[in-house]
Structure 1
């Protein structure tokens, strides 16, 4: 059985201010689940639509042609706090959404580089319904539309395409991260533009500037209420399991079921990062990401943890490693995180379990606190510029 390595945090390009807050860090345990409410939707960690996805948390949502009753329910959409915006495979869509056009009157498409690959496809508009929350006329990205050949500026990144069910492992991505748009001011400016958005006449796609209101939007930020962030609630995981269920709760401190309840607030920098200190060394580019399916950090030379054979992409220590690190926000709040890393080859040998709290692997030069970090915690993601009881986002809290 194939167990894929997936790290879905988008390369940060937004520019914004940091939030604030305080409190003490709770220990990892089984959190109280907000099982009901118009702002609550069930989520599940399981093998996904391909039945080989490890530590992927999925949700069902509804998209509609804007302002109409022409709607479709789409299951198995990955919940990703490391990016912003809804991205759906064209193969999962049976309704036709409205295409966004650029200044020249031609279709707009987008190339989004994630750490583990890129997505490419047109920007279209949809109404999005999740639980009792609805966002209207939201720009989203539709992946793998054959009418839009991938431009060289996108394919030449050296990253693999994640525009199919086999490579993405989901019917789409629901980005409910720290930012209101997937790019922000950088893509709206001709100076220093990262070139994510393209206008596509028949002669070929060319990079353009994209107004912030036209960019792919975090749908939570467009809800009429409960729009300042999300909370993910998942039970603790002591060993491999076939599946678990939890809740995605919209809003922070907006209703009785989404209070911070003493969670420590970790403010982030303009890229959405805080500092993790491990074995006495600080890593200031660290982040929390439900779209990554393990703890991804450093490399074997730095950690002294044996890596699995290629192309596994995970750690394979001879004995489970019990580790600790300290996270610190830009507001000075800090707390210790205890975590474990087991032998991935051994974990995957069951072929029936898809939920592991001790899966980890080599990463970049910092810490990516992936989905195992969420097990047994209520983890809050506060959106930039939005007011919460602990101050203005963006921040993580747990």
Structure 2
């Protein structure tokens, strides 16, 4: 997913960018972000949707062999992350984990693979078509005033619509109980109501094939996917309560307390709940057929998640993960964020667009770019990047690329998954339950 709340054109009034992205047989991106104006999240998207093929250079590369940084034995606070072909799609640059979902307090469980890891959103969203009926029917609905809660998550290319339930979750060796999660696609679009509700008429991303994953695991810096605004006003058109009469379900705008909102499940771990570390292997300029890394939960809580005191660059962010400023070739952008839910590097530049891999850049030769990003702590990092021909690369049989980029509307820089390949990235959470976009917080990204 892309960022939402503080990214750019996020939907539902959030001035931000990202979130889930629909993916056709090739590539796309997703993520969530923060709203600089309201501090609330929503979800939108940016990303290309090409199917791959031969680029304008007319040459075909050969993707490199599988690469890995995954330890032979994972610790209890770690989980494997894989970028490869999957049962849901052949989309590129989609990092995936497995999550075990249980009816609260029971042994009625299902392990669901192909869940996208998204540092640009918050909370677990499962596609209904990926959850077996035995588990799905046993998940208690979150309610307000005795009525079930539903959520409309907006994306640049459409929306997701579904009810909110609670579940016990296990990720690696970490567990969280009674976590509010969204089940996407379990409600008819005709049930979506309320003022200015885009889910009532928008394009729905409500299946695994639509997002190239069985769900999205949002582990970004914020705690709730909306927060205090949705607890006090219906202005964002995010949360709803539903009633059923004569077999017909109807939902209307509603405020929803924090306890019933979708939440980053890492924040509910007993320990190792203050941040994450993503370690991904480097790939060659031709990409790789498979890249295997790992996610470590917690910062400074165990010997395997200590944040180095030197040798890294630490940039403090706002509550939603946005750095203070960024620039490229002397041009400043209004937003910059680090988002594994985006399958490319997305920003605005006058480069040649791909004909097939829509939304991606296809320069005739590989380009070098060095954007500069500055945290609220005043630390500035210059990040060396390469931009290759996406169609040529996507035609080589690979799935993990560090040099694909695409266009996005607005002045922002989305450091998607290509940035994370070959790096260890530390993401520290602000301990607060809520925050405001564009204002310094204790959250940081370090690499």
TM-score of Structure 1 vs Structure 2, range by shorter chain: 0.7 to 0.9
Query: Does structure 1 residue 383 correspond to structure 2 residue 429?
Result: yes
Q: Which residue of the partner structure matches residue 185 of structure 2?
A: 144
Report the CA distance between 1:369 and its aligned residue.
0.3
Residue of structure 1 in register with 2:60 after alignment: none
Aligned pair partner of 1:208 in 248, 254, 260: 254
Report the count of equivalent residues.
375
Return the offset for 1:270. Answer: 4.3
User: Pick from 358, 361, 376: which aligns with 2:406?
Assistant: 361
Confirm or deny that 1:15 pairs with 2:39. yes
1:288 to 307, 332, 338: 338
Q: Partners in 2 of 1:105 and 1:98 — Cα distance? A: 16
TM-score by length of 2: 0.79
Q: CA deviation at 1:163?
A: 1.1
Give me the whole-angstrom Cα distance separating, in 2, the residues matched to 1:187 and 1:243: 40
User: Which of 185, 207, 231 matches 1:164?
Assistant: 207
Q: Choose from 272, 278, 298 the match for 2:328.
A: 278
SS where residue 373 of structure 2 aligns?
Answer: strand
Task: Report the equivalent of 1:26.
Answer: none
Deviation at 1:102, TM superposition (A): 3.4
Stretches of structure 2 that go unaligned for 5 or more consecutive residues are 1-23, 41-66, 433-439
Secondary structure class of the residue paired with 1:205: strand
Report deviation, 1:119. Answer: 1.6
1:3 aligns with 2:41: no
Does 1:297 find its partner at 2:297? no
Are the structure 2 counterparts of residues 101 and 349 from structure 1 closer, same or farther at C-alpha, using a change threshold of 3 Å?
closer
| Distance of 1:324 and 1:72 partners within structure 2 | 44
TM-score by length of 1: 0.88
Deviations 1:200-227 (A, max 9, x none): 1126110111111210010000000000
| Distance (Å, rounded) in 1 between the aligned partners of 2:263 and 2:401 | 31
- Structure 1 residue 395 corresponds to structure 2 residue 430: no
SS in 2 for 1:200: strand
Q: Kindly indicate whether the alpha-carbon contact (under 8 Å) linking 1:287 and 1:368 is maintained by their aligned counterparts in 2.
A: yes
Structure 1: how far apart are the matches of 2:301 and 2:97? 22
Aligned to 2:11: none
Where 2:266 maps in the other structure, the secondary structure is: helix
Does residue 1:265 correspond to 2:314, yes or no? yes
- Which one of 287, 294, 308 corresponds to residue 247 of structure 1? 294
1:198 Cα deviation from its structure 2 partner: 0.5
Distance 1:308 1:157 in 2: 30
Deviates more, 1:287-296 or 1:352-361: 352-361
Distance in 2 separating the partners of 1:219 and 1:101: 16
Q: Partners in 1 of 2:168 and 2:198 — Cα distance? A: 28
Query: CA 1:326–1:10 in 2, change beyond 3 Å: closer, same or farther?
Result: closer
Matching residue within 190, 195, 208 for 2:237: 195
Residue 165 of structure 1 and its aligned partner are, at CA, apart by: 1.5
Gaps of 5+ in 1: 17-29
CA distance in 1, matches of 2:89, 2:259: 37
Mean CA deviation greater in 357-366 or 90-99: 90-99
Q: Give deviations 1:256-299, integer Å, cap 9, x for gaps.
A: 1112223322111244311221011221311110000000001x
What pairs with 1:308-327 in structure 2 (closer than 5 Å)? Answer: 308-309=354-355, 312-327=358-373
Deviation per residue, 1:5-35 (Å, 9 max, x gap)? 223234537739xxxxxxxxxxxxx997565
Task: Trace 1:82-161 onto structure 2 (pairs within 5 A).
Answer: 82-94=120-132, 95=135, 96-146=137-187, 149=190, 151=192, 153-155=197-199, 160-161=203-204
Other structure's SS at 1:213 match: helix
